[in-house]
Structure 1
Amino acid sequence: MTDIDMNLLKALDALLAERSVTRAAQRLGLSVSAMSRNLTRLRRVTNDPLLVQAGRQLVPTPYALTLIERVHETTRSVYTLLQPAPKTVDLFTLDRCFVIRANESFIDLASAKLALELQKNAPRVRLHFVGKHDKDAQPLRDGTIDLEIGVLGTEAPELKTRMLFNDRFVGICRSDHPLLQTPCITAERYASYSHVVVSRKNKLHGPVDAALAKQGLKRQIVMVVPAFTNAIHIVRHSHLIGLVPLSALASSSLHPEMSEMNWFELPVETPTIKISAIWHPRLHADPEHRWLRETIWTVCQPEEKSQTT
């Protein structure tokens, strides 16, 4: 294959179609002598005359006749493959499944809006959400997942990111919890009650505990659960205090005005949670994947606005 010039394929297609060196040269914008050299090379490569003189015309050999259709289709396919990647996508005919790794809070927050977007603009697209049990970059690298949503927590330097929205931790408890019976929620009072925490890796300490420790305080953690929805359910039916991202409440039936439960700002400062879309560079220029990223970003913007107003 190292000795084959792919330009000969296009020359052969033109020669067999025109059956004239002059017209084939005009068709490809070459000189007659250049096209004549191409014919000589093609004869040597195929070990066949291909076109022979018949009076004032060139006629194809039997072997050349067997090539005409195949050469034309192959030439068209090769040059289609080597064209620049498309910059736009036909969403109505797009038939593709995207695998997205995200935690349950984001799925609850965005999936309904994304479903409406798909039904309206991309009816054949499917979104396959998978649980976020870890932040390993390998599934992004090998294509097992197409997109990850969350906090960047890997050392993989090549990954691309785009911030979707800022989130923050808030406390939750029943509306009749003693913590809410006085207007001031101090760090001391907050730490004095029993807590339920969410951890996928069975970690009992996080940013809140670090902030409390600076004041010489420590929470009493009596239960650890794997999901924020678990914590919300437990808090609703007990006098435990929970800790969840504000976005986890926006997607549930929980509201500050609900009689059963309430949420409150923490009495200590914790870092802002930066929720991002994360993907591998091999998909960066893919117009279909770019559409997915833009769609998710758009869906997330109202949530961002509602948290900053």
Structure 2
Amino acid sequence: MRFNKLDLNLLVALDALLSERSISRAAERVHLSQSAMSNALARLREYFDDELLVQVGRKMEPTPRAEGLADAVRDVLVRVEATISTQPAFVPAESTRAFRLLVSDYTLTTLMPHVLARVYEAAPHIRIDLRPQVQHPERALERADADLLIIPREYCSADHPAETLLDEAFCCVLWEGSPLADAPLTREAYLDAGHIVVLPGQGQPALEDWFVQRLGVARRVEVTTYSFAAASQLVVGTQRIATVHRRLAKLAQRHEPIVIRDVPLHMPEMHQMVQWHKHRSADAGLVWLREQLRAAVGGMDGGGKI
């Protein structure tokens, strides 16, 4: 099919090339031979009268023209995919659909066991692909690499719809053998202590660290980790403090010799959201899955069995 003399199949190739920045990986992504992808790139260059991708050292880099095309091409393809793949009805018990969710290990540990139990009961043949959080998660929606994002409100994109799943407070976790655990945790004691801080997603700051920085105070960071779930375990045997999500702390307290204290600073709650692509609001499968997420929050907080 052609539009203004452009073979629209070439848009799929262009999207893969701009995402992968490699002819061989782009060919693998869309199930073409490397020679066929090279031919597609040549035709695209001729049509747009631009190199689109140029070799810089061992990598291929997009030209300014290609960078200007990238978002528009991806938007067109997502819109088409959403239109043709969305079914008028979704029958959970009969579906074999795969859903891709981007989640932090906080969500993986606290909420997802309840979600998977509900989904399995209603739709045992559905597949759930849980993927780690990345920087700029909205790009995963726009590339159709994820169906849903579960992220704090501060990291949501203004370009796509989102709704609140839950609110989460922060607390301090200390080893029960630490001298700090024997007295009220004051602001001074908190700021004087060594801290364990989470740096998720390629070193970007955790939300609690961002809140602390906004208060204009500095902590003495002695340990960093990429895992929210591990922070409560890493204080054991030390006099350090970890500032963590309260639901995670309560889970850890079942198995670790730790105590929980309120944060002696004014720290806002985290508002955890679920976000989806604006072109997929009518997707009956995603509407159903969002309902399962909301119900799972109630089950988690109500103490229902998994």
Distance 2:143 2:91 in 1: 26
1:92 — aligned with what?
93
Whether contact under 8 Å (2:98, 2:128) holds in the other structure is: yes
**CA RMSD after TM alignment:** 2.6
Report the alpha carbon displacement of residue 210 of structure 1 after superposing the two structures with TM: 3.7
Aligned to 1:287: 284
Q: Which residue of 2 aligns with 1:268?
A: 265
Q: Secondary structure of 1:236's match?
A: coil
Distance of 1:156 and 1:227 partners within structure 2: 23
Q: Is the 8 A contact 1:100 1:147 kept in 2?
A: yes
Give the aligned length: 217
Residue aligning to 1:206: 210
Counterpart of 1:206 in 2: which secondary structure?
helix
Larger radius of gyration: 1
The aligned counterpart of 1:170 is: 171
Cross-structure match for 2:111: 110
Instruction: Write the deviation string for residues 94-150 of structure 1: whole angstroms up to 9, x where unpaired.
Output: 111100001001111122222222221101111110001223311101211000001
Any unmatched runs of 5+ in structure 1? 2-80
Unaligned runs of 5+ in 2: 2-82
Q: Quick check: 235-244 or 285-294, which moved more?
A: 235-244
What is the alpha-carbon distance in structure 1 between the residues aligned to residue 260 and residue 216 of structure 2? 19
Letter in 1 for 2:210: G
> Which string of whole-angstrom CA distances, capped at 9 and with x for unpartnered residues, describes residues 195-233 of structure 1?
1111122549532244362xxxx4221111111123122
Contact 2:195 2:223 in 1 (8 A): yes
Aligned partners of 2:216 and 2:226: how far apart in 1?
A: 23
Q: Which amino acid aligns with 2:253?
A: L
**Judging changes above 3 Å, is the alpha-carbon distance between structure 1 residues 265 and 147 closer, same or farther for their aligned structure 2 residues?**
same
Distance 2:129 2:137 in 1: 18
Task: From the superposition, tell whether residues 254 and 192 of structure 1 become closer, same or farther in structure 2 (CA, over 3 Å).
Answer: same
Aligned to 2:17: none
1:195/1:138 CA distance change after superposition, 3 Å: same
> Which residue of 2 is the match for residue 4 of structure 1?
none
**1: CA distance between counterparts of 2:216 and 2:177?**
24
Contact 1:166 1:304 in 2 (8 A): no
State the identity as a percent: 18
Distance 1:212 1:305, change over 3 A: farther
Give the 3-state SS of the residue equivalent to 1:238 in structure 2.
coil
Contact 1:179 1:190 in 2 (8 A): no
C-alpha spacing 1:180/1:304, structure 2 compared with 1 (3 Å): same
Partner SS for 2:94: coil
Alignment of 1:45-56 (within 5 A): none
The one-letter code of the counterpart of 1:147 is L
User: 1:107 aligns to what SS in structure 2?
Assistant: helix
Is 1:160 the counterpart of 2:161? The answer is yes
User: Distance in 2 between the 1:100 and 1:191 partners?
Assistant: 36
Partner Cα separation in structure 2 for residue 280 and residue 259 of structure 1 = 40
- TM-aligned CA deviation for residue 302 of structure 1: 4.0
C-alpha separation between the residues in 2 aligned to 1:128 and 1:238? 37
Alignment-derived partner of residue 278 in structure 1: 275
Asked if 2 retains the 8 angstrom alpha-carbon contact of 1:137 and 1:156, the reply is: yes
- Partners of 1:100 and 1:130 within 8 A in 2: yes
Distance of 1:163 and 1:304 partners within structure 2: 15
Paired letter, 2:273: S
Scaled by the length of structure 1, the TM-score of the pair is 0.64
C-alpha deviation, 1:296, in angstroms:
0.6
Residue 180 in structure 1 maps to residue 177 in structure 2 = no
* TM-score, normalisation: structure 2: 0.64
